[in-house]
């Protein structure tokens, strides 16, 4: 069992989900391209909401049963940690990764909000 491998797979799992969320937000913003200021403000709100959701998921990840996570499924039988250690390792790793992506979405939301000031409205 390698903690670096667990972190690598946690990044893969969370980044995949966040990528789809980001794609949906961008598609929504493109749909509002005729109203650039509204598009940026909407993107800011959606990104901040996503960041808040990721923070909540991060807090809940430490108590979520480790066998019900995508990360556990991605680990091969040889890579899986002992049961007494798995909850702590997987929970904390997922919490760190969720928080990392919450920061990314938060920064994106702030940038969209600041960008809305320079666009015609």
Q: pLDDT tens digit string along 19-47?
A: 999 999 999 999 999 999 999 999 999 99
Measured distance CA(65)–CA(67) in Å, rounded: 6
Tokens of 87: 């909850």
Give the E-state strand segments of 8-115 in sequence order. none
Residue 43 has what pLDDT? 98
Residue 121 has what pLDDT? 67
Measured distance CA(103)–CA(70) in Å, rounded: 22
- How do the domains of the chain map onto residue ranges? 3-116
* pLDDT, tens digit (0-9, with 9 covering 90-100), for 63-79: 999 999 999 999 999 99
Question: How far is the first Cα of the chain from the last one, in angstroms, to the nearest whole number?
Answer: 54
Residue 14's pLDDT band (cuts 50, 70, 90): very high
Residue 11's pLDDT band (cuts 50, 70, 90): very high
What does the pLDDT average to over 90-105?
98
Angle at which helices 83-118 and 36-61 pack, to 10 degrees?
160
**Burial category of 106 from C-beta neighbours within 10 Å (exposed 0-12, middle 13-18, buried 19 and up):** middle
């Amino acid at each position: 069992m390698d903690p670096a491998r667990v972190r690598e797979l946690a990044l893969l799992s969370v980044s995949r989900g966040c990528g789809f969320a980001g794609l949906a937000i961008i598609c929504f913003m493109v749909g509002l391209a005729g109203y650039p200021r509204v598009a940026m403000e909407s993107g800011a709100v959606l990104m901040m909401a996503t960041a808040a959701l990721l923070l909540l998921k991060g807090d809940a990840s430490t108590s979520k049963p480790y066998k019900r996570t995508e990360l556990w499924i991605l680990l091969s039988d040889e890579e899986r940690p002992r049961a007494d250690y798995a909850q702590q390792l997987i929970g904390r790793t997922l919490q760190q990764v969720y928080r990392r992506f919450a920061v990314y979405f938060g920064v994106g939301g702030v940038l969209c909000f600041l960008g809305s000031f320079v666009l015609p409205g």
